[in-house]
Amino acid sequence: MNIHWLYRRIWSGSYRSIRTKLLFCFLIVTLIPLLSLGAVSYYQSARIINSQFGKYGENAVAQLEQQTSSSLSRMKQLSETIYSYLLDPARTDLGNRAPVSYNEIIEKNDFEALLKSLRTDKTAGIYIITPSGYYYGENNLDVTKLGSIPAWKEKPSSYQGIYWLGFYMQNHAMTSAGDPNLPVLGLAVPIHNSNGAQDGSTILIEENAQELLHMFRLFEKDTKAHLTIKAADGRIVYQSASAFTPKDSDMIWDRTLAVSQWTLEARLPAKAFYLSSGIIRSNTIVVAVISCLLAFGLAYIFSSRFTDRIRSLKDSMQKVSFGKLDTRMPIEGRDELGSLDMSFNRMVSGVQTLVQEVEQSERLKKEAELKAFHYQINPHLLFNTLNSIQWKARLEGAEDIRQMLYHLTMVLEGNLDISQELITLGRELRMIEHFLKIQEIRYGDVFRYELHCEEALKRYLIPRMTLQPLFENIFFHGFTDGIGLIELGVREEKEELLLTLKDNGAGISAEKLERLFIPGPKRRGRGGLGVQNADQKFKLHFGPEFGLTVHSTKGEGTTIIIRWPKREERSDGYSKED
């Protein structure tokens, strides 16, 4: 509604300057598509980027979950192997103190050899710690420093099953043994076997976590997300170092590790998630503003140059209106305004000629009116003359001549009546009957005419004098001495009429039939001219899809089919659709 009001206000005259109108229209036409395109582009780009970034975050968290689960599964499988080994009743020589007998030493060496064989390149340590403080494994562990592991201190003494210690620094090794800054992932499995020597001991498995923690940091750097891993009891296993305050608007990607039931959650603030789309929005606004300023400048320059030329043309036209016919416009270009200037110059140059042409046109108009009056008089003279000849033939007893003149008069009366271009089919058929009477007097009773037309169809309109030329062609070209059969049938097909005119005369050659409807120079004789004229009448009155179709075989006759819509004559003399 506002745009419509602005359009009416601009063009209704509230702004008198055409420069202002052009400037506003140019800006509207330029800025609306430009801003619409910018908005659509921003919306589509932001939607795609946000969707891709969301999928990237989901895939990255899934990859972290897969790598972490892989490490946990490997450690769990290792602990189960050791646990099964210790549950073997034959391992009674593995006690909770240093071995003293030969069998105990052999058993200890075999067990530690097994532990070494289970190590991988990612294993940081495998130990079995007894209640007395003695342990099996590599000789680099200071049992007294295990309390520095946060989760080790929180582990309940009666805990059964697998206890995940999480991530911590391996600073419980003996002095000068191991790397105190090595981050590891720990697993503690208490041994409960009342019949075994290792009852109450704990399996401690540590795996190098440098690669895993490096993946966490890369994820945090790439996505700017805050990563948190929680154990099933709510204990924080891992958390990003940066300070973070959770909000309801945060984008959250989370996964649950089936091995440890840890929950891996990555939170990204909404501001950071929509940062890329915000940059696109800012760039779009900047480009839109620059484009608006550029469009305004171009519109102002264009409208100024355009209106200056129009103002000059207006001044020249005003001079011509005062009678200064020697006024001319300088041609400044070949565009539309240049063409307008040229047209103005030609117009001024032709004013006098135009006045003369107007005078001549008035003179010709009067002459045409006189000729039209003369043409109205001529038919009366012709009919009076024919009636006189007909009366003279009756006095002389020449009945054939009188009949021929009578029918000729009826045919001419229908043909020379130019007041109506469309007449009823019945009237046209009556003129055909008069024409056939003339041919019957001329040739004798040697041809046969059959008419098949329901009376109800005769009220419909047909172009005047369209059937007579077709009948003339039959007698002049189709029949030999007037001998033959003529069949005319009219039927209706829905809202159309179909007239079929058929004769068994000489027919038309294929070559002539192809050229029958091709317009060309005036032909000598009558061949085909009546068909063309009749076809053109139907097309002019009813449309190009209607008209004549001719089928003919040389020596076998000709069939003409005419199709046109049904129309009736109204009471006021005009035709109406049926």
Decide if 467 contacts 432 (C-beta within 8 A): yes
Segments making up each domain of the chain, as ranges? 87-211, 421-577
**What is the DSSP-derived secondary structure letter of residue 459?**
G
Radius of gyration for the chain, computed over Cα atoms and rounded to the nearest angstrom: 55
pTM over 0.75: no
Picking from 233, 162, 167, 168, the residue whose alpha carbon sits closest to that of residue 203 is 162
What pLDDT does residue 546 have?
Answer: 93
Residue type, 562: I
**Token duo for residue 69:** 């689960």
Cβ-count burial of 64 within 10 angstroms (0-12 exposed, 13-18 middle, 19+ buried)?
buried
Residue type, 62: A
What pLDDT does residue 121 have?
Answer: 87
Residue type, 563: R
Decide if 517 contacts 529 (C-beta within 8 A): no
User: Distance (Å, rounded) from C-alpha 544 to C-alpha 67?
Assistant: 79
**Token duo for residue 24:** 């506003």
**What is the DSSP-derived secondary structure letter of residue 242?**
S
**Token duo for residue 255:** 């996964």
Helices (H), 87-181: 102-118, 150-154
Helices (H) and strands (E) in the chain, counts: 14, 18
**Token duo for residue 401:** 């001549």
User: Distance (Å, rounded) from C-alpha 483 to C-alpha 106?
Assistant: 139
Angle at the Cα of 278 (from 272 to 279), degrees rounded to 5? Answer: 105
Instruction: Please tell me whether residue 512 adopts helix, strand or coil conformation.
Output: helix
Angstrom distances, CA of residue 370 to CA of 270, 377, 381: 92, 11, 17
The two domains 87-211 and 421-577 share their CATH topology (first three levels equal) = no
Most distant CA pair in the chain, distance: 172
User: Distance (Å, rounded) from C-alpha 491 to C-alpha 549?
Assistant: 16
β-strands 557-565, 496-503 pairing: antiparallel
Instruction: Return the CATH number of 421-577, one of 3.10.129.10, 3.30.565.10, 3.90.930.60, 3.20.20.70.
Output: 3.30.565.10
Topology annotation, domain 87-211: Beta-Lactamase (3.30.450)
Q: How far apart are the first and last CA of the chain?
A: 44
157 phi, psi to nearest 5 deg: -70, -30
Q: In what order do the strands lie in the sheet with 123-129?
A: 135-137, 123-129, 202-208, 183-190, 163-169
**Token duo for residue 450:** 């059959």
Decide if 414 contacts 431 (C-beta within 8 A): yes
What pLDDT does residue 533 have?
Answer: 83
The string of DSSP codes covering 39-88 is HHHHHHHHHHHHHHHHHHHHHHHHHHHHHHHHHHHHHHHHHHHHHHHHT-
Residue type, 141: L
Picking from 115, 92, 113, the residue whose alpha carbon sits closest to that of residue 103 is 92
Angle at the Cα of 176 (from 171 to 181), degrees rounded to 5? Answer: 35
**HSE of 32, CA atoms in CB hemisphere, 13 A:** 7
158 phi, psi to nearest 5 deg: -95, 15
The string of DSSP codes covering 134-159 is -EEE-TTB-GGGGGGSHHHHHS-TT-
**Token duo for residue 231:** 């154990």
User: In what helix (H) or strand (E) does residue 340 lie, and over which residues does it extend?
Assistant: helix 336-349
pLDDT tens sequence for the chain (578 residues): 455 555 555 545 444 566 676 667 767 777 777 777 777 776 777 777 777 777 878 888 888 889 999 999 998 999 888 888 887 777 766 777 777 778 878 888 888 888 888 888 888 889 888 888 888 888 778 888 887 787 777 777 667 778 888 888 888 776 555 566 789 898 888 888 767 667 778 888 989 989 998 998 998 888 888 999 998 888 888 988 888 888 888 888 888 988 888 899 888 887 777 777 777 777 778 877 887 778 777 777 776 766 776 777 777 777 767 767 667 777 776 766 677 777 777 777 777 667 566 667 677 566 545 444 444 444 544 555 556 666 656 666 666 676 666 666 666 665 655 567 788 999 999 888 888 888 887 788 888 999 999 999 999 999 888 898 899 888 888 887 888 999 999 999 989 999 999 999 888 888 888 888 776 554 544 455 678 888 888 988 898 899 999 999 888 899 999 999 999 876 555 555 54
What pLDDT does residue 450 have?
Answer: 93
Helices (H), 224-350: 270-273, 275-321, 336-349
User: Distance (Å, rounded) from C-alpha 559 to C-alpha 549?
Assistant: 8
What pLDDT does residue 323 have?
Answer: 65
Provide the b/e sequence for 189-207 (b: ≥16 CB within 10 Å). bbbbeeebbbebbbbbbbb
What pLDDT does residue 368 have?
Answer: 47
Residue type, 392: K
Instruction: Please tell me whether residue 463 adopts helix, strand or coil conformation.
Output: strand
Cβ-count burial of 493 within 10 angstroms (0-12 exposed, 13-18 middle, 19+ buried)?
exposed
